[in-house]
Amino acid sequence: MKSLFDPTVVDEVQGRLTQLRPDCERQWGRMTAAQMLAHCSIAVEWATGEREVPQAPLALRTIGRMVKPFALKDDAPMKRNSPTVKELLMVDDCDFASEQERLRGLIGRFAAGGPAGCTTQPHSFFGPLTPDQWASLMYKHLDHHLRQFGV
């Protein structure tokens, strides 16, 4: 499975990020490219422990624990318009260049930190994750949003 602990995968994601432009057309969803970058940065900050992971309501956490084995079993991409927790909804305008640089830095720090640099906090929806699961989930999440904007 692809993971942000694999330097080849990190290079692929970083390359795709450099192809992203502020005027890239989204294929689905409502976020602008800049908002998507901010959204993804917060998710990576959760994975590194730089930002506290909020807890979803109990009903969602229960569902999340049941679907986790299916969501993380292979490299199948996330489905379009997958639900997100309110803390990741971006409604304000964001500066594209600064958000792009922020995300590139966060991905680099996550990858360099390896398993020891991963949070021990449970994911808001999926619950407890191993560092390898965090690394795979972060790849899948980034891939999902880069595909959203055609890169």
pLDDT bucket at 115, cuts 50 / 70 / 90: very high
Q: Is residue 41 part of a domain?
A: yes
> What's the CA gap between 47 and 145, in Å, rounded?
17
Query: Residue 64 sits in a domain of what CATH number?
Result: 1.20.120
Q: Is residue 113 part of a domain?
A: yes
Q: Is residue 135 part of a domain?
A: yes
The pLDDT score that the predictor gives to residue 87 is 81
Q: Is residue 123 part of a domain?
A: yes
Percent of the chain with pLDDT over 90: 87
Mean pLDDT of 101-112: 98
Q: Which pTM was predicted?
A: 0.94
Number of domains in the chain: 1
Query: Tens digit of pLDDT for each residue in 16-70?
Result: 999 999 999 999 999 999 999 999 999 999 999 999 999 888 998 899 999 999 9
Q: Is residue 1 part of a domain?
A: no
Provide the residue range defining the domain that includes 66: 7-20+28-148
